Structure 1
């Protein structure tokens, strides 16, 4: 099972944003940071999940994925497979599409203090744009 920690951050809302992804696969860890351009904090959180799924499709095909996010909104939308927000709906559809590449895809909410690696990476991604 692959453990994936995701975080999105925005400097301003909307503002320059970034995604941070921290992956634990066995004894190895992987770090990714992606500048995302002008987005809201919530959008950045969704994009972090999408980017992580794309990475897993390339690096860990066919694995069981256990995602963790400190965004209650993102976890709730994915768990309930529903949102009325049109912006988030398009992002949810992309997550549905990407997660079909895996036998199992789980996501759970974790407190911010348990997501320090991904948080640091998302903030570094914002600075990469400057």
Structure 2
């Protein structure tokens, strides 16, 4: 079983975003922060889920039991409806749905922000790194 916690952070005025991911497998923890191309936090949350699913696929982990946790209600609601009104979200949602179909046992669930501190910290670290490289 694999557990993944994801989050995103965005600097609105500079339109820079980064994501954080904590991956737990076999009692080992991997921490990743990732620069993102999104200019809004909601879009960055979608982009981070795409990154997590792509990372799992690239690591040949599609046949594992996978739980992905996010504190983004808009991502979860869009997944449940299989619809996103905003076209920026729609393209990511389509990618997420396509990637998700490659995982036989995948659960993507909402968690409260207070339960997602690890991914939040990594996203903020990634954003600070992106801000330094763009200054």
Q: Which TM-score applies when normalising by structure 2?
A: 0.89
Q: Does 1:115 align with 2:97?
A: no
**Offset at residue 38 of structure 1 (A):** 5.0
Q: How many positions carry a matched residue from both structures?
A: 130
**Offset at residue 14 of structure 1 (A):** 6.8
Measured against aligned partners, the alpha-carbon deviations of 1:12-63 in whole angstroms (never above 9, x if no partner) come to 1672110111111121111111111451000110111010001111222311
Q: Distance in 1 between matches of 2:71 and 2:91?
A: 21
Deviates more, 1:118-127 or 1:61-70: 61-70
State the partner residue of 1:11: 11
Q: Distance in 2 between matches of 1:65 and 1:19?
A: 19
Q: Distance in 1 between matches of 2:80 and 2:23?
A: 20
Structure 1 runs of 4+ with >3 Å offset: none
Q: Distance in 2 between matches of 1:96 and 1:13?
A: 31
Q: 1:13 to 1:65 in 2, by over 3 A?
A: farther
State the partner residue of 1:72: 73
Q: Distance in 2 between matches of 1:88 and 1:14?
A: 20
Higher Rg of the two aligned structures: 2
Gaps of 5+ in 2: none
CA RMSD of aligned residues (A): 1.5
The question of whether the paired residues in 1 share the 8 Å contact of 2:18 and 2:33 is answered with yes
Q: 1:118 to 1:87 in 2, by over 3 A?
A: same
State the partner residue of 2:107: 106
Secondary structure in 1 matching 2:88 = helix
